[in-house]
Structure 1
Amino acid sequence: MTNTCVDSIHNTMNQRQSVGHLVAPAPNQQQLDLAFTAALAAPDHHRLKPTRFVIVPTEVRAEFGTLLSNSLACTEIDAVQVERVKNHPLRAPLLVLALTVLQDHPKVPHYEQLLSSGAAIENFLLSLQSQGFASIWRTGAVAESEALKHALGLSARDLISGIIYIGTADKKLPARADVNLQDYVSTWSNA
């Protein structure tokens, strides 16, 4: 691999940030398929592929917002928050739901499947970033809603691992601050 390619990969990873204000354009189907392919190449013990994606197209965002609001209303007592979540899908031109469908396997505990799903989502975000798009990965109370899980055909143990808002950043973001690796990396010693 050339240094230019390595630099490009690391630049994409180091510059990826969550962007809350997203506008059109969103990725087209070919660009999304490239990102889904990258996602499904994530580490995955015994190739169980626990991650599923559901696209929420632009034209049905308002309907999806109603589903979110109705799902949250089952557990949330704050009526203002229930109404506010109805407009969340309108924050970006495209949404993709990331789901984790857990499987019973003697060698692959559920937590490994969840980690695999997180890696798949990160690959998805990085692929979108490398193609010039921005995103934000959200969860919150609505992602834990049993009513929403049911509406998506999930079992109670499965997870809505995120609602990914996708589009183009409406403004240039400042570069990430440098990280002092010594604060996060150490060397094990048996002495």
Structure 2
Amino acid sequence: MINHQSSLEFLLSRASTDQLVDPVPQGKQLRAILSAGLRAPDHGKMRPWRYTVIQGEYREAFAKVVLKAIEREESHLPEAKKEKRYHRFSTMPMIIALGIHIVPEGKIPVVEQEMAAAAGAMNVLNALHAEGFGGIWVTGAFSTDTELLEMLGLKKPDCLAGFLFVGTPEGSKEDRKRPDIEKYMALWEGKPVSFGANVD
């Protein structure tokens, strides 16, 4: 069992990467990783998480679906950028679409349902890290495309929070500089607070 200090160090060591290769999580391991998403805070037990896994031979077919969505929603993009996105979706070891099932007239505000889905995605990224995998969360305007959503089992007002590219990190991890927490925290002592990050 790991102690609290090493657990905190572990969380602080997570970093997004798109330098990913096989293998990817499968079977019980994949289900356990995605189950971590369902442990996110969920006011009202709305359970908005809808995870679609794309891998293997289906990546290229899904990349074509994404490309068509880009043509409809972001036709102004340069061809080189469209080709780059197609290449990424067709070659990443695994893709997890982050669907959000929205109940607009429910007792819980939509923004809280979206936050629960986002918290779930972060739990999945941490679970991937815990199991020795890596990932990166990507989005794009094409994610609102109705036909793309329907392919992922989502009907409006359901939506996408984006996609996780998943795999095993390739090479050594980049030791990137992180922001100084002192600029992003304040101690409230009865008067309005200010943040250093707001004046940079």
Which TM-score applies when normalising by structure 2? 0.86
The total of aligned residue pairs comes to 189
Instruction: Compare 119-128 and 88-97 and name the one that shifted more.
Output: 88-97
Distance of aligned partners of 1:40 and 1:125 in 2 relative to their CA distance in 1, 3 Å threshold: same
Once the two structures are superposed, residues 93-112 of structure 1 have per-residue CA deviations (whole angstroms, 9 ceiling, x without a partner) of 11111111111354310000
**Equivalent residues of 2:59, 2:91 under 8 A apart:** no
1:69 equivalent in structure 2: 67
Q: How does 1:23-42 map to 2 (within 5 A)?
A: 23-42=21-40
Tell me how far 1:11 sits from its aligned partner. Answer: 2.4
> Post-superposition shift, 1:72?
1.2
Matches of 1:63 and 1:55, distance apart in 2: 13
**Aligned twin of 1:55:** 53
Q: Which ranges of 4 or more aligned residues in structure 1 deviate by more than 6 Å?
A: none
Q: Does residue 1:92 correspond to 2:103, yes or no? A: no
Letter in 1 for 2:103: Q
Change (3 A) 1:176 1:84: closer
Over residues 108-151 of structure 1, what are the superposed CA-to-partner deviations in whole Å (9 max), with x where a residue is unaligned? 10000111001000000100100000101100122222331233
Cα distance in 2 between the residues matched to 1:86 and 1:174: 25
CA distance, structure 2, for counterparts of residue 128 and residue 48 of structure 1? 24
2:175 equivalent in structure 1: 175
Q: Determine the C-alpha separation between the residues in 2 that align with 1:79 and 1:180.
A: 37
- Percent identity at matched positions? 25
**Partners of 2:104 and 2:157 within 8 A in 1:** no
Q: Which AA in structure 1 matches 2:3?
A: C
Q: CA deviation at 1:176?
A: 4.1
2:77 alignment partner AA? D
Aligned residues: CA RMSD: 1.9
Give unpaired runs (5+ residues) of structure 1.
none
Query: Residues of 2 paired with 1:178 and 1:66: CA distance?
Result: 36
Q: Output one character per residue of 1:143-182: Cα deviation in whole Å (capped at 9) or x when no partner.
A: 2223312332323332211211111111112334354222
CA–CA distance in structure 1, aligned partners of residues 105 and 40 of structure 2: 18
Letter in 2 for 1:98: L
- Equivalent positions of 1:1-191 (< 5 A) are 4-75=2-73, 76-78=75-77, 80=79, 81-191=81-191
Pair 1:174–1:83, CA change in 2 (3 A)? closer
Question: TM-score, normalising length from structure 1?
Answer: 0.90
Q: Equivalent residue of 1:56, what SS? A: strand
